[in-house]
Every structure is written in C-alpha cells, then in structure tokens.
Chain A
Amino acid sequence: MMRNPYRTQRIAFSFLFLATLLIVVPVGLIVVIIIQKGLPAINWQFLTDIPRQGMRAGGIFPAIVGTVYLVSGAIIFALPIGLLAAIYLSEYSKDNMLTRLIKLAIVNLAGVPSVVYGLFGLALFVVFFKFGASILSGSLTLGIMILPLIITASREAIESVPYSFREVSLSLGASKWQTIRHIVLPNAIPGILTGTILGLGRAAGETAPILFTVAAFYLPRLPKSIFDQAMALPYHLYVISTQVPNVDEKIRYGTALVLLALVLSMNLIAVVIRYKFRKRKKW
C-alpha cells in the first residue's frame, strides 16, 4: 500500500493541534468552575467586611488588604535591587568568575522551592533580624522570591535595546551612564514593567513564603504597621478550605475567585502594556 504523505501530515497536524488545545482546557475549567461556584458569594459586603463567626461568614477585606500590602512591600524591595542588578549585569559586568557566580546564583534562586523561601524568611527576618511574623518579614521574603524574575526580565529588556543606539549615543560624547539613563532605560521600560507585574502576580498568589513569616490564621482587623501580622488571600483560602470545619463552599470559592481575579488581572495588565509598547516600538 502506498503511503499518502498528505494524509500523514494531516494526522500529525491534528495531533499537534489537539495537544495545543489541551492546554486551554484546564485553564478554562479552572476559571469556569471558580466563577460558577464563587460568583454567588461576591458582593460589596464580602469584599469590604471583616471575617465573622470564625470565618464562616462576613467578608475577606483584611486578607485583600494584607495581600496588597505584601505585594507592594515585595515590589518596593525587589524592583530597585533587581533593576540595578540587571543594569550592572548587562552594561557593566565583565565576563569573569564573579559575574558567572552571580548569574549562577540568580538561576538557582529562581529554582528554589517557595516553601524553602518561607523557611529562610523565618530564620533570617523573623528570628535573626527580630522582625517577628510581620508584613516586613513577609514582604522581604516574597521580594527575594521574585528577584530572579525581575532581574531576568529586566536584563532581557535592557539587552534587547539595539547595540547601535548605545554606539550612537557614546559617539556623540555622552557618557556611559547618560547612555544608559537616556537611551537604554527608556526603551527597556516596557519589558521591565512586564516582568515586574508578572512578579507581582507571582507574589500575590504564593502561600508557602508567607506561611511562617507573616500570615495570620485569623485576624479580624486591618494591620496597624509593617511590624504587624496580616491575613493574606492565599493563606486565608488554605485555612478556610482545610483548617476550619463547616465553611460554606460559596465563601471558599468566592475567596478563590477574588485571588484569581487579582492575579489574572495583573497578568492582563502586563500583556496590555507589552502590546501597547510593541506597537509603539519604532525599530
């Protein structure tokens, strides 16, 4: 029997397409199920009230606020350090042992499991620096966790600015720093921003790093300072799903929906920024 190459190709394409389609299914299902089960819980009171009756009623406002604090803290810490490190690595570092060591450290930092960050944060910030279980400790821990993400995204953004722009700027007598400040960075900002927002999303969704460093099991009020403990959405979800009996399914899925919406909307913002700047890009 003759083999028909076109049919073979069609079959191969079908399999490739099916495999690709399979990626959409879990995402779609997660979103649909969570919206379906969680949407009935969402109302103004749920979003703005404190948890009541041992978290079986009321809202999740302190957890939302806690997550916002933690994420902001993580970014305040990680963005400047990550950006400066990325500038150094892309523009100034020579290819020597130290640089290779730093790059290796970044790769490994990205590969550390998040629960290990939690333990590290507990040992360093909570115990050694005596910050206690606090927003400060949690933010720093999350910040360290997203550092590699921000460094890598920033480096890619900086290195994607054409080399010729740097040559032109230097050839006009601008200094290296002026070149970085006026030519490289303005054109790298979209990439840096995208990486930062993805880091935000990651920080907002992680439970393990905040488990030992900040998260309060039940704290039906807003944190008073950065040395205060706080509730946070992912941990709150864990608590009401496994640690507290008889929580209405609606409340659990409602919490999940809020968390999901928060993280997905950050990703969406990143996509929009990238898209807008790519359209504006002129080279």
Chain B
Amino acid sequence: MVTFEIHDLNVWFGSVSAVRDVNIEIEANEILSIIGPSNSGKTTFLRTLNRLNELNPNYRMTGMVEFERNNIRGMNMEELRRKIGMVFALPLPLPLSIFENVAYGVRMHGERNKRVLERKVEEALGQAYLWDEVKDRLGESAFKLSGGQQQRLCIARTLAVGPEVILFDEPCSGLDPISTAKVEEAMLKLKERYTIVLVTNNVKQAARVGDRTAFFLGGELVEVDKTDKMFTAPRDKRTDGYIRGKYG
C-alpha cells in the first residue's frame, strides 16, 4: 500500500529553489531513509509532507503531494499533522512535566478523560522504550531527562496522538552512540505499526535501519532504491561517491 505519492514537487523559499522535480512514492510500514549532504533539500522535503514549511511566509510549492490518495493541500491541517507525526533534530521537550509532554497532543485533540490520558501516556512511553525509566517521575520537568531520554520522550509524544506516519528529522544528530542505538531500536520496532521517513546525515544509520534509501543532492532526488542495493550497487556515480564519503 502506498502512503505518500509525490509528483513533480518543487519548493522555493523566496527565489531560492530548495527541492526540484521530485517524484517518489512512500510505502506503508516501510522505513524510507533520506540521505544527502546538508542543503540538499532533505529536511525541506520532509517538512513538505506535514505542511510545516508553510509556517515560512516565503515558502512556495508546485506539484502534488498525496497522502493516502488525498491531496494534502485540501486536508484539514490539524488532522493531517495528527496523522503525520514529526520528531525533530534536537530533543525539544515542551516546558512541561514528562507526563504533560506526552499528554499534550492528546489533550489538544480534545481528550479530557484522565484515565484515557494516563493509559495513552503509558502506552506511548512504552512504545518509545522510556516507560521503565520515567514511570516513577512522571511529574518532573521534562528538561531533567538526559538528551537521549528527551528524544525518546519526543517520540512518545508523537506516538501518543495516534499517527500513521512518523517523520524523523535527523533524530540522532545530538545524541551519543548508546542513545542513538536506543532510538534506532525504537524505530525498527515502530515500523511494524507506522510508516517512517527518516532524514539522516549518518549514512551508516540509513544502512542500518532503512528498508529503502533515497539520495538527495542539490534539491534533486538522485536515486531511490532498496537499501541493500543502494549500498552495494548504486546506479548513479554521485550516490556511490557520497556513500563512500567522497563528499558531503
């Protein structure tokens, strides 16, 4: 099943072109890794999917992005973003308690029942492999957690609203190797239930967790293929060069 279909996507910020003529499909329950050097348009592409780019007044796009066969531009923004969660590059807890961070999105979608909230918070923290570490300190400020815990809290917060897709924007760029391993473990597990798009600067991470990998360069999608194939026999010379660390 196809979750996203993107046709001829072009994105500009003011007069600067950020993404050019991208055509790609994203399948349900896969992890699609997006690699590429900085300024290659990966994050812009990602933020097009949940329409977060539209916060920038200079943003312009052409082409079409379909989410489950609906043009995302016609969809209700809040509903779209509930279904398409996002985890940011830096751990960004809200200035609330651990519990309230996870409950925040659920509350914003109208849930008032305390029992339901408690259940959803526990479930989400469990799925993010954080429950055991925080179950006795849910009332504490989220800023007291370590960086890796904070990032898993952000994952839990995203899961709590019941998304279908999770967009990860370089989620491990600020984490140590052990925390990175925990986040990757969570991602692999989450794949069973969610579609995952992972933007990463770390080529090895893409190789470890991605079912398919897409390579962006200068705003263009150079190549997308099964991860194994991409890393053993890339079709494009530029992909080969990037994977081997010749530039980037």
Q: List chain A positions with a Cβ less than 8 A from chain B.
A: 94-95, 164-175, 178, 182-183, 187, 282-283
Q: Spell out B's residues near A (CB within 8 Å).
A: 50, 52, 55, 57, 77-83, 85-86, 88, 90, 92, 94-95, 104-105, 108-109, 141, 143, 154, 157-158, 161
With A167-B52, A167-B55 already in contact, the answer to whether A172 and B105 are too (CB < 8 A) is: yes
Q: Can you name 13 A-B residue pairings with CB atoms under 8 Å?
A: A165-B92, A165-B94, A167-B52, A167-B55, A169-B104, A172-B157, A173-B81, A173-B105, A175-B78, A175-B108, A182-B104, A183-B94, A282-B141
- Please tell me if the beta carbons of B52 and A171 are within 8 angstroms of each other in the complex: yes
With the chains together, A93 CA to B79 CA distance in Å? 24
CB contact between B95 and one of A165, A166, A175 (< 8 Å): that residue? A165
- Lowest 6 CB-CB distances: which A-B pairs, in order? A173-B82, A172-B105, A174-B108, A173-B81, A171-B86, A282-B143
Write out the residue numbers on chain A whose beta carbons fall within 8 Å of the beta carbon of B94.
165, 168-169, 183
- Please state if A182 and B108 are interface contacts (CB–CB under 8 Å): yes
Asked if residues B108 and A173 are in contact (CB atoms below 8 Å), the reply is yes
* Chain B proximity of A178: nearest CB distance (Å): 5
Q: Is the Cβ of A164 less than 8 Å from the Cβ of B81?
A: no
How many A-B contacts at CB < 8 Å in the complex? 66
User: Is there contact, CB below 8 Å, between A172 and B52?
Assistant: no
Write the nearest CB–CB distance from B87 to chain A, whole angstroms. Answer: 9
User: In the complex the two chains form, is A168's CB within 8 Å of B81's CB?
Assistant: no
> Per DSSP, are chain A's interface residues mostly helix, strand or loop, or mixed?
helix
| Minimum Cβ distance to chain B for residue A283 (Å) | 6
Instruction: Report the separation of the CA atoms of residues A167 and B86 in the bound assembly, to the nearest whole angstrom.
Output: 10
- Known: A165-B94, A187-B95, A282-B143. Contact between A172 and B55, CB under 8 A? no
Q: When chains A and B are docked, how far (Å) is the Cα of A183 from the Cα of B107?
A: 13
CB contact between B104 and one of A94, A95, A172, A175 (< 8 Å): that residue: A172
Chain A residues positioned under 8 Å from B105 (CB to CB): 172-174
Residues on the B chain within 8 Å of A178, using CB: 108
Query: In the complex, are the beta carbons of B81 and A172 less than 8 A apart?
Result: yes
Residues in B whose Cβ lies below 8 Å from that of A172: 81-82, 85, 104-105, 108, 157-158, 161
**Distance between Cα atoms of A164 and B85 in the complex (Å):** 15
The CB with the most chain B CB atoms within 10 A, among A165, A173, A174, A178, is that of: A173
CA distance A171 to B158 in the complex (A): 9
Given contacts A94-B57, A171-B52, 20 further A-B contacts (CB under 8 A): A166-B55, A167-B88, A170-B55, A172-B81, A172-B82, A172-B85, A172-B157, A172-B158, A172-B161, A173-B81, A173-B82, A173-B105, A173-B108, A174-B78, A174-B104, A175-B77, A178-B108, A282-B141, A283-B95, A283-B143
| Docked CA distance A81–B147 (Å) | 41
Residue contact B50 to A282, C-beta cutoff 8 Å: no
**Residue from A94, A167, A187 with most neighbouring chain B CB atoms (10 Å):** A167
Residues of A within 8 A of B78 (CB): 173-175
Asked if residues B108 and A171 are in contact (CB atoms below 8 Å), the reply is no
Residues of B contacting A166 with CB < 8 Å? 55
C-alpha gap A182/B104 in the complex (Å): 9
Q: Which residue of A lies closest to B54 (CB)?
A: A170
On chain B, the residues within 8 Å of A165 by CB distance are: 92, 94-95
Question: Does the CB pair A170–B81 fall under 8 Å?
Answer: yes
Q: Which residue of B lies closest to A175 (CB)?
A: B78
Shortest distance from the beta carbon of B161 to any chain A beta carbon, whole Å: 6
Known A172-B104, A183-B94, A283-B143: A164·B82 in contact at CB below 8 Å: no
Chain A residue at minimal CB-CB distance from B158: A172
Contacts of A183 in B (CB 8 A): 94
Picked from A95, A171, A282, A283, the residue with its CB within 8 Å of the CB of B81 is A171
Q: Which residue of B lies closest to A281 (CB)?
A: B95
Q: CA A283 – CA B93 in complex, angstroms?
A: 9
